[in-house]
Amino acid sequence: MRRTSRRLADGREILYFDEKPDAPERVAVDTRDLPPVAAASEIRLDPLTGEWVAMAAHRQTRTYKPPADLCPLCPSKPGKPSEIPESDYDVAVFENRFPSFAQGVPGERSTLDGASLVPVAPGRGRCEVVCFTSEHDGSFAGLNPGRVRTVLDAWADRTSFLSTVDGVEQVFPFENRGEEIGVTLHHPHGQIYGYPFVTPKTERMLEVARAYRAEHGRPVLGDVLAAERASGARVLAEGRYWTAFVPPAARWPVHVQVVPHRQVPDLPELTGAERDDFAEVYLRVLRSCDALYGRPLPYIAGWHQAPVHRDRDLGWLHLELFSVLRSPDKLKYLAGSESGMAVWINDATPEQIAERLRSAI
């Protein structure tokens, strides 16, 4: 793989990840007249839960459902410059023009209204966009294993870099797919957030992992993985280095975890063989998801990685995919119990979900 770093018209970085070393040199210039990015996000600590909440009001003006011929993630064409100046690409990564977190955010740590109850800090971090393919009408499920490997290498590269960015405490690569999820750009892409804090979900998972190890002397996800492989009731796909299964307490109508057989804290720690095997296993999962209802499944898929600076011995890298679609034309809405109290009520058992996905393909 060849990696090339360039700059967009407003100074943001763009990187090209080419699968072939003899691919065209990435020298195209961004000809747009763009104002500098002016991110003004801040984070506030909820005094009742101890969780950080981000405020990013400047994102109200971000691009919203443009027509296909004006897609900002397609390669640039004569008279139609986009976020990607090249006329073609394999995988491209660039700094988000409307970031939730950014390095240039002004301000200092303080408290709300001058009292000590609610700490406030600048939302300093970094947000990047990852384009999986130059094909506007493609999908991650439609990629070949080689391209999935390139995307995985790009995720690992960005995780390594973002882990060195000032203030970043956790790196989260993820993909939102489908209008039902809230996607406003249909080109196949994902994002990477470099958070200025460890996220609430990760904090809770670390607490559980720490307590389980203290009691049993083993990692909890390792025992879950072993139990799922032994049972097979919820397993969807298995390779030499990865297993995909519906979690035993699945929250969503479609809910899958893809777990490596070896404990590693994050993507950069995966070997080449593990990366290749992930591509095969994950593509089987995605294709069964798209076959489930005979239509492209809207989903969120994200990587759980260990924090950058602490508890790396407790983390066990894995990918989680879930969907709000509970039938071909019905959504699972997060209503009172889920949204109000974070108590999930699923309309199907994990065993039923697994059987439906296995049967779909």
Give the active site residues: 189
Residues in the chain: 361
The residue assigned the tokens 């064409």 is: 77
**Nearest Cα to 4, choosing from 86, 75, 77, 68?**
86
How far out from the chain centre does Cα 113 lie?
35
- Look up residue 122 and give its two tokens: 């600048």
Give how far Cα 267 sits from Cα of 3, 111, 307, Å.
Answer: 17, 36, 12
**φ, ψ of residue 90 in degrees (nearest 5):** -90, -70
CA 302, CA 174: separation in Å to the nearest integer?
4
Contact (Cβ atoms closer than 8 angstroms) between residue 171 and residue 196: no
CA 149, CA 133: separation in Å to the nearest integer?
13
Contact (Cβ atoms closer than 8 angstroms) between residue 46 and residue 112: no
125-161: b (≥16 Cβ within 10 Å) or e: bbbbbbbbbbeeeebbbbbeeebbbbbbbbbbbbbeb
